[in-house]
Structure 1
Amino acid sequence: MALSPSDFSGDAIIQGYGPGFFRVAGQVIRGPVLVEGDQGQPWGGLGDEAALLALAGRVDVLFLGTGAQPAYPPRGLFDRLGQAGIRAEAMPSPNAARTYNVTRSEGRRVACALLPL
Protein backbone atom coordinates (compact mmCIF):
# COMPACT_ATOMS: atom_id res chain seq x y z
CA MET A 1 0.00 0.00 0.00
CA ALA A 2 1.29 3.46 -0.86
CA LEU A 3 0.98 6.37 1.55
CA SER A 4 0.15 9.96 0.53
CA PRO A 5 3.15 12.13 -0.40
CA SER A 6 4.11 15.22 1.62
CA ASP A 7 7.09 17.54 1.90
CA PHE A 8 9.29 16.39 4.76
CA SER A 9 12.38 18.55 4.07
CA GLY A 10 14.86 15.68 3.74
CA ASP A 11 13.43 13.48 6.48
CA ALA A 12 13.07 9.77 5.83
CA ILE A 13 9.41 8.98 5.43
CA ILE A 14 7.61 5.70 5.11
CA GLN A 15 6.31 5.67 1.56
CA GLY A 16 4.71 2.25 1.52
CA TYR A 17 4.65 -1.28 2.86
CA GLY A 18 3.60 -4.77 1.94
CA PRO A 19 4.07 -8.37 3.03
CA GLY A 20 7.52 -8.49 4.62
CA PHE A 21 8.84 -5.09 3.48
CA PHE A 22 8.73 -1.31 3.93
CA ARG A 23 9.68 1.44 1.46
CA VAL A 24 11.48 4.23 3.31
CA ALA A 25 12.87 7.28 1.49
CA GLY A 26 12.87 5.36 -1.80
CA GLN A 27 14.64 2.30 -0.40
CA VAL A 28 12.98 -1.09 0.08
CA ILE A 29 13.87 -2.66 3.42
CA ARG A 30 12.85 -6.26 4.06
CA GLY A 31 11.94 -7.32 7.58
CA PRO A 32 11.71 -5.07 10.64
CA VAL A 33 12.72 -1.44 10.12
CA LEU A 34 13.71 1.48 12.34
CA VAL A 35 13.01 4.97 10.97
CA GLU A 36 14.33 8.15 12.55
CA GLY A 37 15.35 11.53 11.16
CA ASP A 38 16.83 11.20 7.71
CA GLN A 39 17.30 7.43 7.68
CA GLY A 40 15.51 4.11 7.68
CA GLN A 41 17.49 1.00 8.45
CA PRO A 42 16.97 -2.70 9.13
CA TRP A 43 16.18 -3.41 12.76
CA GLY A 44 16.60 -6.64 14.72
CA GLY A 45 12.97 -6.70 15.89
CA LEU A 46 11.68 -6.80 19.43
CA GLY A 47 14.81 -8.57 20.65
CA ASP A 48 16.91 -5.57 19.61
CA GLU A 49 16.16 -3.19 22.48
CA ALA A 50 19.63 -1.63 22.24
CA ALA A 51 18.73 0.06 18.94
CA LEU A 52 15.60 1.53 20.54
CA LEU A 53 17.39 2.68 23.70
CA ALA A 54 20.06 4.32 21.50
CA LEU A 55 17.36 6.81 20.43
CA ALA A 56 17.49 8.41 23.90
CA GLY A 57 18.08 12.14 23.69
CA ARG A 58 17.18 12.22 19.98
CA VAL A 59 13.47 11.40 20.10
CA ASP A 60 10.62 12.00 22.51
CA VAL A 61 8.18 9.42 21.16
CA LEU A 62 8.66 6.00 19.56
CA PHE A 63 5.82 4.46 17.57
CA LEU A 64 6.15 0.69 17.78
CA GLY A 65 4.47 -1.13 14.92
CA THR A 66 3.42 -4.62 16.00
CA GLY A 67 2.78 -6.08 12.53
CA ALA A 68 -0.67 -6.56 11.06
CA GLN A 69 -2.46 -6.86 14.40
CA PRO A 70 -2.34 -5.05 17.74
CA ALA A 71 -0.03 -6.79 20.22
CA TYR A 72 1.60 -6.17 23.55
CA PRO A 73 5.33 -5.34 23.55
CA PRO A 74 7.70 -7.50 25.60
CA ARG A 75 7.25 -7.10 29.35
CA GLY A 76 9.17 -4.12 30.70
CA LEU A 77 10.17 -2.66 27.32
CA PHE A 78 8.07 0.49 27.74
CA ASP A 79 9.38 0.94 31.28
CA ARG A 80 12.99 0.76 30.07
CA LEU A 81 12.27 3.18 27.23
CA GLY A 82 10.52 5.53 29.66
CA GLN A 83 13.55 5.50 31.96
CA ALA A 84 15.59 6.56 28.92
CA GLY A 85 13.19 9.47 28.31
CA ILE A 86 11.33 7.89 25.39
CA ARG A 87 7.55 7.61 25.45
CA ALA A 88 6.43 4.60 23.40
CA GLU A 89 3.10 3.72 21.83
CA ALA A 90 2.31 0.33 20.30
CA MET A 91 -0.13 -0.11 17.43
CA PRO A 92 -0.40 -2.11 14.21
CA SER A 93 2.44 -1.27 11.80
CA PRO A 94 0.25 0.49 9.17
CA ASN A 95 -1.11 2.82 11.87
CA ALA A 96 2.37 3.41 13.31
CA ALA A 97 3.74 4.28 9.85
CA ARG A 98 1.00 6.83 9.19
CA THR A 99 1.24 8.31 12.68
CA TYR A 100 5.03 8.63 12.34
CA ASN A 101 4.72 10.41 8.98
CA VAL A 102 2.15 12.89 10.30
CA THR A 103 4.00 13.73 13.52
CA ARG A 104 7.36 13.94 11.72
CA SER A 105 5.82 16.38 9.22
CA GLU A 106 4.93 18.55 12.23
CA GLY A 107 8.62 18.73 13.13
CA ARG A 108 8.33 16.55 16.23
CA ARG A 109 11.16 14.35 17.52
CA VAL A 110 9.75 10.91 16.78
CA ALA A 111 10.95 7.52 15.56
CA CYS A 112 9.19 4.44 14.32
CA ALA A 113 10.13 0.77 14.78
CA LEU A 114 8.02 -1.49 12.61
CA LEU A 115 7.51 -5.23 12.45
CA PRO A 116 6.50 -6.41 8.96
CA LEU A 117 3.01 -7.49 8.01
Structure 2
Amino acid sequence: MTVQSETTEGIILTDEAAGKVKGLLEQEGRDDLRLRVAVQPGGCSGLRYQLYFDERELDGDVVADFGGIEVVTDRMSSPYLIGATIDFVDSIEKQGFTIDNPNATGSCACGDSFN
Protein backbone atom coordinates (compact mmCIF):
# COMPACT_ATOMS: atom_id res chain seq x y z
CA MET A 1 0.00 0.00 0.00
CA THR A 2 1.47 3.32 -1.10
CA VAL A 3 0.16 6.33 0.77
CA GLN A 4 -0.25 9.29 -1.55
CA SER A 5 -0.85 12.13 0.88
CA GLU A 6 -2.71 13.14 3.99
CA THR A 7 -4.94 16.15 4.38
CA THR A 8 -5.05 18.44 7.38
CA GLU A 9 -8.26 16.62 8.24
CA GLY A 10 -6.33 13.36 8.22
CA ILE A 11 -8.05 11.44 5.43
CA ILE A 12 -5.59 9.35 3.44
CA LEU A 13 -6.18 8.08 -0.10
CA THR A 14 -3.68 5.51 -1.35
CA ASP A 15 -2.29 5.58 -4.88
CA GLU A 16 -4.22 2.38 -5.65
CA ALA A 17 -7.52 3.90 -4.52
CA ALA A 18 -6.85 7.18 -6.36
CA GLY A 19 -6.11 5.23 -9.55
CA LYS A 20 -9.32 3.23 -9.26
CA VAL A 21 -11.39 6.35 -8.58
CA LYS A 22 -9.80 8.08 -11.59
CA GLY A 23 -10.62 5.10 -13.81
CA LEU A 24 -14.23 5.00 -12.62
CA LEU A 25 -14.63 8.73 -13.18
CA GLU A 26 -13.26 8.38 -16.71
CA GLN A 27 -15.85 5.64 -17.37
CA GLU A 28 -18.60 8.00 -16.17
CA GLY A 29 -17.37 10.62 -18.64
CA ARG A 30 -18.13 13.48 -16.27
CA ASP A 31 -15.73 16.00 -14.80
CA ASP A 32 -18.10 17.37 -12.14
CA LEU A 33 -18.11 14.30 -9.88
CA ARG A 34 -16.13 13.83 -6.67
CA LEU A 35 -15.79 10.87 -4.34
CA ARG A 36 -17.96 11.47 -1.29
CA VAL A 37 -17.18 9.51 1.87
CA ALA A 38 -19.87 9.63 4.53
CA VAL A 39 -20.64 7.97 7.84
CA GLN A 40 -24.30 7.10 8.38
CA PRO A 41 -26.19 5.41 11.23
CA GLY A 42 -26.84 1.74 10.47
CA GLY A 43 -25.17 -1.59 10.02
CA CYS A 44 -24.76 -4.19 12.72
CA SER A 45 -22.16 -2.13 14.65
CA GLY A 46 -24.00 1.21 14.70
CA LEU A 47 -22.30 3.21 11.93
CA ARG A 48 -21.57 2.41 8.31
CA TYR A 49 -19.50 3.93 5.54
CA GLN A 50 -20.88 5.22 2.27
CA LEU A 51 -18.65 5.87 -0.75
CA TYR A 52 -20.25 7.30 -3.87
CA PHE A 53 -19.76 9.85 -6.62
CA ASP A 54 -21.47 13.16 -6.00
CA GLU A 55 -21.68 16.48 -7.79
CA ARG A 56 -23.30 18.30 -4.86
CA GLU A 57 -21.57 20.85 -2.68
CA LEU A 58 -22.98 20.79 0.84
CA ASP A 59 -22.51 23.51 3.43
CA GLY A 60 -19.51 22.61 5.59
CA ASP A 61 -18.01 20.04 3.17
CA VAL A 62 -14.37 19.17 3.75
CA VAL A 63 -12.60 18.71 0.41
CA ALA A 64 -9.23 17.02 -0.03
CA ASP A 65 -7.38 16.84 -3.35
CA PHE A 66 -5.27 13.80 -4.20
CA GLY A 67 -3.60 14.50 -7.52
CA GLY A 68 -6.77 15.83 -9.12
CA ILE A 69 -9.09 13.38 -7.35
CA GLU A 70 -11.31 15.24 -4.91
CA VAL A 71 -12.52 13.41 -1.82
CA VAL A 72 -15.39 15.12 -0.01
CA THR A 73 -16.77 14.53 3.47
CA ASP A 74 -19.65 16.33 5.12
CA ARG A 75 -19.02 18.17 8.36
CA MET A 76 -20.85 15.55 10.45
CA SER A 77 -18.85 12.63 9.01
CA SER A 78 -15.45 14.33 9.02
CA PRO A 79 -14.61 13.76 12.74
CA TYR A 80 -15.25 10.01 12.33
CA LEU A 81 -12.78 9.85 9.43
CA ILE A 82 -9.71 11.60 10.89
CA GLY A 83 -6.73 9.39 10.07
CA ALA A 84 -8.81 6.95 8.00
CA THR A 85 -7.03 5.34 5.05
CA ILE A 86 -9.06 4.58 1.92
CA ASP A 87 -7.47 1.85 -0.18
CA PHE A 88 -8.49 -0.33 -3.11
CA VAL A 89 -7.87 -4.08 -2.89
CA ASP A 90 -7.92 -6.38 -5.91
CA SER A 91 -7.11 -9.95 -4.89
CA ILE A 92 -8.57 -13.42 -5.29
CA GLU A 93 -10.39 -13.11 -1.96
CA LYS A 94 -11.69 -9.58 -2.27
CA GLN A 95 -12.10 -6.66 -4.63
CA GLY A 96 -13.20 -3.21 -3.61
CA PHE A 97 -12.52 -0.16 -1.53
CA THR A 98 -11.49 -0.63 2.08
CA ILE A 99 -11.36 1.88 4.91
CA ASP A 100 -8.89 1.44 7.74
CA ASN A 101 -10.18 3.75 10.44
CA PRO A 102 -8.24 4.27 13.69
CA ASN A 103 -11.36 5.88 15.23
CA ALA A 104 -13.36 2.65 15.03
CA THR A 105 -13.41 0.89 18.39
CA GLY A 106 -15.02 -2.20 16.89
CA SER A 107 -16.43 -3.52 13.65
CA CYS A 108 -18.61 -6.34 12.43
CA ALA A 109 -17.61 -9.40 10.46
CA CYS A 110 -18.88 -7.92 7.19
CA GLY A 111 -16.47 -4.97 7.56
CA ASP A 112 -19.09 -2.49 6.40
CA SER A 113 -20.00 -1.04 9.78
CA PHE A 114 -18.17 0.10 12.91
CA ASN A 115 -18.60 1.76 16.26
Q: TM-score, normalised by structure 2?
A: 0.26
- Name the structure where strand makes up a greater proportion of residues: 2
- Name the structure where helix makes up a greater proportion of residues: 1
Q: TM-score, normalised by structure 1?
A: 0.26
Bigger Rg over Cα: 2
